[in-house]
Structure 1
């Protein structure tokens, strides 16, 4: 800091007025100096903050770069851990410019790692990572579609440039890969969709409903549920058929989708009532039956199943009431594992994605809790009665729907 030094003169050269004048000037000069010093300090602190921010950004990018290098060159275990770290980084930061920067820095390199390696477990981890960084960081449909295309080439190699023999993914890895692709695919609901762009995906997923592995059939069914919700198989207002210029081509696309819908519903009905055999995984069997029955109900009634998870007394419940939200919830639960509960409580990204309802039961009196339980029991009874009536109507409707599906599927009337 600067300090004023004045040369002292003889006392006989100053009277009292001069002393006052000097005092006044000295005070004014000190105030001016203090203001200048303060401005200087503030300026230096501002510069220091900028340097700290720049250092933080540099460390952030350096850390990301090290993770990416581990994905590209590390062992299988190292690559899997690094992929997970990048995904967690994106989820923790949340949507915004930083997340977009993560996506820009990592997408091309993750894509290279997917195409250059043959390790199935590594591919699965990288697919999860690519889905997450694009889900959080993408700004438009073009960026999302690039990642979807890359992921699809791993799931269905014939769609890519490879012409030689390709090693088939193990069933568990294929199921995880489809789940990751489906998770990212849920984001296309924000834009108008040209159904002609998704014919290959629908066709391949429909063949996977006949796969020998039940986990693959379930993953394919979840992906197909999004196509129903987006209206690609039903042609609702979300579908952009106007972008199909030629009328004959438009008619062909619509007829193709009707045919695929009939084929899928035919198979979904079989899977919803499949009998368990010796040595089968009963949990997966029940999950399969439940999923495909819900898909049939959704196509018939338009009502989507709802999931409600208790987060805590303070944070209440997390609710998913569309196929899109259910797919997103299932993927994030799988990826975050034990950390899902903490993220549900504190992570703003999850709060933006899902509907959270606060649990107010803790503030109720004993009498109010009893009334609430009674009303809840009454509501559940009414819902059960409604479900029974719906099931009865649905059974008849399903038979009609399936008869129509059989006729379309076997005779080609849909064309």
Structure 2
């Protein structure tokens, strides 16, 4: 994720940009002998949601039954995934929604490259159909699934085929003022990450960034000094566009970063006055990112004053949680602008650890975590593409016995929590005891 100069057509992850082999099949045949019967409209949603809620059952079987249990679990998982894929073309919108959510949950928490590679175009066709003909939540789920599909396939020919089909649809929805606003928000986020993972030509990256600019620039203060009047949903769309734009900024060339800085840095600070806290935070983090990438910039006093006021905000009209979140972020942003410093964070997963030591790395990490959620640590451990992005090297093999020895048992955890609770209670009771002389303090 380190910012580097690069040629317009050279991929930023050259060691990862390769085909993993030809596609062996494109169908969705099941791994079991029986055929999956199509769902009726009456029981479709119940059946699909049942599969979706129980797909994790297959994961726990392997730990209980050794190799035989692992093989059975794999068969069960593949069977359920095939049911999900078949159900994405069902007549029932609720069934399609459940199937998309099931596939999302599986891809976020497991490495399914072999299974997905064989069926990538079938899944892509389903995503395309749901984006074009679905509504609202179904379109949002399809957009998220597209990102997870690219994360699973990594940066190569297979994901390029997927993105080639979906990119025009994403852009059309994103820039269509009449489209569902939640769908446009989801497409803004998904288009950004898919471009980061897949896009080869840096000129195409710039073109996508211009699409994002055409949206969030509408939140800029006008030339006469007035602020545009936008509803919360439109502001969220502009916020998502700004975040995705900043994500792609992390892979731009030095000359492009300088051009972007000259164009946007005079106007970005005015977004810090926006009524929406998420827009203020997105603008602040983008400013910090620009100062990190354009190393020769000097902080300007008015900007530092504005960041300082947000870092110490005591506005009574704002909720405590909002103020707490905002102050935490802007303390780090102010430090980045004034001192060129970053608050380092360590991510631990399995037997490894990764350091988030820059705004570039933070923006990239947050983008992936947005889609894989609680499965981020698992992907950091096992996903070759994500490990390549964060320069973690090949996956580290850890045997089951070692992992079990590292885990604290439930009984030991209970004893530890009980002891900690007892010690905390004793310490507090010392100050609660009415017999304590106040003069002692």
Task: Report the TM-score, using the length of structure 1 for normalisation.
Answer: 0.60
**1:347 Cα deviation from its structure 2 partner:** 1.2
**Higher RCO, 1 vs 2 (CA within 8 Å, ≥6 residues apart):** 2
Deviation at 1:88, TM superposition (A): 0.3
Which residue matches 2:365?
329
Partner of 1:210: 273
Aligned to 1:156, what secondary structure does the other structure show?
helix
Match of 1:292 among 330, 333, 350: 330
Q: Which is worse superposed, 296-305 or 137-146?
A: 296-305
* CA positional deviation for 1:306: 1.0
Contact 1:309 1:318 survives alignment (8 Å): yes
Aligned 1:101-120 pairs, distance under 5 A = 101-116=161-176, 117-120=178-181
Q: In the TM superposition, what whole-angstrom CA distance separates every residue of 1:33-84 from its partner, at most 9, and x where no partner exists?
A: xxxxxxxxxxxxxxxx978357697852243133123223310111101101
Instruction: Name the structure 1 match of 2:339.
Output: 301
By how many angstroms is 1:261 displaced?
A: 4.1
More deviation, 354-363/210-219: 354-363
The answer to whether the Cα contact below 8 Å between 2:284 and 2:330 also exists between their aligned partners in 1 is yes
When Rg is computed on C-alpha atoms for both structures, the one with the higher figure is 1
- Residue correspondences, number: 283
Determine the C-alpha separation between the residues in 2 that align with 1:132 and 1:149: 15
Aligned-pair distance for 1:339?
2.4
1:241-390 to 2 correspondences below 5 Å: 261-278=300-317, 280-312=318-350, 314=351, 316-354=352-390, 356=392
Q: TM-score, normalised by structure 2?
A: 0.57
Which SS does the other structure have where 2:316 is aligned? Answer: coil
Secondary structure in structure 1 of the residue aligned to 2:354? strand
The within-5 A match list for 1:167-246 is: 168=231, 170=233, 171-188=235-252, 190-193=253-256, 195-231=258-294, 234-235=296-297
Q: Which runs of 5+ in 1 are unaligned?
A: 1-48, 160-164, 236-257, 365-415
Distance change (3 Å), C-alpha of 1:59 and 1:226:
same
| 3-state SS of paired residue (1:192) | helix
Pick closer, same or farther for the CA change 1:58–1:263 going to 2, 3 Å: same
1:319 partner SS: strand
Q: How many Å separate the matches in 2 of 1:215 and 1:298?
A: 19
Provide Cα deviations, 1:345-388, integer angstroms capped at 9, x if missing partner.
Answer: 21122212225599999999xxxxxxxxxxxxxxxxxxxxxxxx
In structure 2, stretches of 5+ residues that fail to align are: 1-20, 28-115, 221-227, 407-441
Report the 3-state secondary structure (helix = DSSP H, G, I; strand = E; otherwise coil) of the residue aligned with 2:381. Answer: helix
Q: Do 1:124 and 1:173's aligned partners in 2 also have CA atoms closer than 8 Å?
A: yes
The alignment's C-alpha RMSD in Å is 3.4
- Whole-angstrom distance in 1 between the partners of 2:146 and 2:389: 20
Q: In structure 2, what is the equivalent of residue 75 of structure 1?
A: 135
SS at match of 2:129: helix
Separation in 2, partners of 1:310, 1:167: 41
Alpha carbons of structure 1 residues 197 and 338: separation in structure 2 relative to 1, 3 Å? closer
The correspondence for 1:61, drawn from 118, 121, 126, is 121
Query: Matched residues in 1 for 2:335 and 2:378: separation?
Result: 33
Going from structure 1 to structure 2, the CA distance change for 1:175 and 1:145 (only over 3 Å counts) comes to same
For residues 67-121 of structure 1, give each alpha carbon's deviation from its aligned partner in whole angstroms, at most 9, with x where no partner exists. Answer: 1232233101111011011000011111122223333222222101112244221
* Deviation by residue 1:327-348 (Cα, 9 ceiling, x = unmatched): 1122222222222232222112
Tell me, yes or no, if the aligned pair for 2:216 and 2:239 is still in contact at 8 Å: no
Range with bigger deviation, 282-291 or 221-230? 282-291
Contact conserved, 1:101 with 1:137, CA < 8 A, in 2?
no
Structure showing the higher helix proportion among its residues: 1
Q: Which runs of 4+ in 1 moved over 3 A?
A: 49-59, 165-169, 171-177, 196-201, 260-263, 355-364
